[in-house]
Amino acid sequence: MRRRAVILLALAMAITWIPAAAVCEEQTSVGFYFDTVVTVRLYDPDSRLMEDIMAACGRYENLLSKTVAGSDVDRINTAGGRPVTVDHETWEILTRAKEISERSGGAFSVTVAPLTAMWDFTEGTQRMPSDAERLVALPLVDDTAIVLGPDDTVTLPEHMQIDLGGIAKGYIADRIADLVRGRCAAALLNFGGNVYCVGIKPNGQRFKVGIRDPQGTPDSVFGAVSVADVSVVTSGVYERFFIKDGVRYHHILNPATGLPAWTDLAGVTVVDQSSMTADAAATACIVLGSEGALAFLTELGLDGLLVTNEGQILATPGFADKWVQ
């Protein structure tokens, strides 16, 4: 589907944004954090807001990235079984991650880290684990083993590791949304597939967030949701992948096998006020497959849209209300 007014905001992202005519001062900045393009559009912001947002992104990257030495995640991963005192925000994310892991039957597991570390979906080396390496790592995947103690302590059994790639961007989107509320009329935040639409645009219109067609080119959308004050998060198997010997390997892993989650789903979009919940839930849905995903979304009271590998579209009843062609 083509629309004249479509502006692509994300390069390697599932989401495009379709703007209406602006009626006030708009400010847009693009940054690179969390291994992804971050786009922030503010409507009538105060003079320091954009600067504060980018500073917050830098702070969160230093707190939550597993590749930043000294980050909370790095300290947890290298603690060798000893308790680590972390920032309360890290502790909160892990609390929610454990809940979603439990409710998804382990489909979402931040302890999938030893396995994600064996794959390369970004650098182009097509590295993947041997069967033996994979089988050795599988017993290390178990979010119930993360012990969250009092005073923001985290204890992880020796050799286990965490990777917040499936939930951190959602948490950060929530916090940046909090930061902008009251300091600008409205905002559109895009953290690589995690979109947060804050408020209603000054011209009175809701935001439209386009949903990418998993079978199409990165700029093809097959519809959009019309929303206000809510987050729209998409996970797709087309985001980061490589093809080897005719097999497509993508970056969302099945924690039970350590292999890419090859289910009937190509893309999942979840809409919720909590971008953190929507982020983790969208990742879990890809692993669960359509039947499990619909049951999971219903049980958590979340609205979602599922696109199968064959292009079939399934949605929860609440999602249909937001859908615009």
Listed ranges 127-135, 195-203, 231-239, 294-302: which one lies at the site for Mg ion (CB under 5 A): 231-239
Q: How many residues bind ligand ADP (CB under 6 A)?
A: 20
Task: Kindly state whether residue 108 participates in binding ligand ADP, applying the rule CB under 6 A.
Answer: yes
Number of residues that bind Mg ion (CB under 5 A): 4
Sequence-separated contacts (24+) of 307-312 with Cβ below 8 Å: 307/211, 307/213, 307/214, 307/265, 307/266, 307/267, 307/268, 308/264, 308/265, 308/266, 309/214, 309/264, 309/265, 309/266, 310/264, 311/213, 311/214, 311/215
Give the residue with the Cβ less far from ligand ADP, 134 or 251: 251
Work out which of 239, 269, 270, 305 binds ligand ADP, going by CB under 6 A: 239
Using CB under 6 A as the binding rule, the residues of this chain from 271 to 300 that contact ligand ADP are: 279, 283, 287
3-state secondary structure 147-189: EEECCCEEECCCCCCCCCCCCHHHHHHHHHHHHHECCECEEEE
- The smaller minimum CB distance to Mg ion, of residues 42 and 307, is found at 307
**Among residues 45, 106, 114, 166, which is the contact residue for Mg ion, using CB under 5 A?**
166
Nearest-approach distance from CB 293 to ligand ADP, in angstroms:
13
Contact between 168 and 93 (Cβ < 8 Å): yes
Which residues of the chain form contacts with ligand ADP (CB under 6 A)? 108-110, 112, 116, 163, 165-166, 192-193, 235, 239-240, 251-253, 255, 279, 283, 287
Which residues of the chain form contacts with Mg ion (CB under 5 A)? 166, 235, 279, 283
